[in-house]
């Protein structure tokens, strides 16, 4: 039976033009930066009219929040797919590590989309920052829950460690050496898992 984890949001079927705008934003915001991409560019690349853009999203800020939610959906779906393949929480933690390593090694990787977005919006109360925070809270809750299931003595602290290692690997993997970044991330997972009493006694 698959592990019961925080389930991903339901993927909605959007109108073709709305989906096209979102897919365009997903690509351009990540590749070029959110503030660097203007509404006129989004409209042109999406092959929609200005009226269509405003009908579906109303403003660029609303589209940015939808972009963050879309990125969260993609991560949550990838984790859920891994969870459907195992009933072992430790294996799922390893599978999450494998996902992180694959993202860092992917062609076109330019860092964590959530951290990238947070750096562009300095106001912590901005809806974009709140959307990023919601994703990070979800990820922390997921890690902490899995660590608690395998009997880690300090699952909250260990989840903090894995979150920080994830952030560092995402940044280091883009700015420097992805191989070194993923190796360091794996070492942190190994250290965290080694603190589980049954493993430590083995």
What is the domain extent for residue 38?
Answer: 14-58
Q: Is residue 164 classed exposed, middle or buried when 0-12, 13-18 and 19+ CB atoms within 10 A define those classes?
A: exposed
**Of 115, 22, 103, nearest to 62 (Cα)?**
22
> How many whole angstroms separate alpha carbon 143 and alpha carbon 160?
9
What mean pLDDT comes out for the span 97-108? 96
Same domain? 149 vs 168 = yes
pLDDT value of position 9: 79
Same domain? 75 vs 158 = yes
- Give me the CATH number covering residue 37: 1.10.10
> How many whole angstroms separate alpha carbon 136 and alpha carbon 154?
19
Residue 18 confidence (pLDDT) above 90:
yes
What mean pLDDT comes out for the span 109-118? 97
What mean pLDDT comes out for the span 140-153? 96
Same domain? 37 vs 100 = no
- Mean predicted lDDT score pLDDT of the chain: 94
Tally the domains of the chain. Answer: 2
Q: What is the pTM of this model?
A: 0.92
Q: Is residue 107 part of a domain?
A: yes
pLDDT value of position 198: 77
Same domain? 112 vs 130 = yes
pLDDT value of position 1: 43
Q: Is residue 167 part of a domain?
A: yes
> How many whole angstroms separate alpha carbon 6 and alpha carbon 3?
10
**Of 77, 69, 70, nearest to 127 (Cα)?**
69
Q: Is residue 92 part of a domain?
A: yes
| Interior angle at CA 68, CA 157 and CA 52, nearest 5 | 170
Predicted confidence band of residue 201 (pLDDT cuts 50, 70, 90): low
Same domain? 44 vs 73 = no
Tell me which of 104 and 10 has the higher pLDDT.
104
How many Å from the N-terminal Cα to the C-terminal Cα in the chain? 27
Q: Is residue 183 part of a domain?
A: yes
Q: Is residue 99 part of a domain?
A: yes
Q: Is residue 9 part of a domain?
A: no
Same domain? 168 vs 112 = yes
> How many whole angstroms separate alpha carbon 28 and alpha carbon 34?
8
Tokens of 102: 């694959």
pLDDT value of position 200: 54
Residue 202 confidence (pLDDT) above 60:
no
Same domain? 82 vs 42 = no
Predicted confidence band of residue 127 (pLDDT cuts 50, 70, 90): very high
Same domain? 68 vs 46 = no
- Give me the CATH number covering residue 73: 1.10.357.10
Same domain? 99 vs 42 = no
pLDDT value of position 12: 79
Same domain? 116 vs 161 = yes
Same domain? 151 vs 73 = yes
What mean pLDDT comes out for the span 10-37? 95
Same domain? 52 vs 70 = no
The CA dihedral of 168, 120, 66, 52, to the nearest 10 degrees, is -150
Q: Is residue 33 part of a domain?
A: yes
């Amino acid at each position: 039976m698959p592990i019961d984890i925080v389930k991903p949001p339901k993927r909605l079927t959007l109108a073709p033009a709305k989906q096209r705008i979102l897919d365009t934003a997903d690509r351009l915001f990540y590749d070029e930066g959110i503030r660097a991409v203007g509404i006129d560019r989004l409209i042109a690349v999406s092959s929609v009219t200005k009226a269509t853009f405003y009908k579906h999203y109303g403003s660029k800020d609303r589209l940015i929040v939808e972009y963050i939610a879309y990125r969260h959906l993609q991560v949550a779906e990838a984790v859920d797919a891994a969870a459907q393949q195992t009933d072992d929480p430790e294996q799922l933690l390893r599978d999450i590590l494998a996902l992180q390593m694959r993202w860092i090694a992917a062609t076109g990787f330019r860092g964590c989309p959530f951290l990238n977005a947070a750096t562009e919006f300095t106001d912590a109360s901005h809806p974009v920052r709140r959307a990023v925070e919601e994703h990070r809270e979800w990820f922390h809750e997921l890690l902490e829950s899995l660590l608690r299931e395998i009997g880690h003595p300090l699952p909250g602290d260990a989840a903090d460690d894995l979150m920080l290692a994830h952030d560092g690997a995402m940044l280091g993997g883009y700015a420097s050496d992805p191989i070194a970044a993923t190796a360091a991330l794996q070492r942190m997972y190994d250290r965290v898992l080694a603190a589980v009493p049954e493993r430590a006694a083995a």
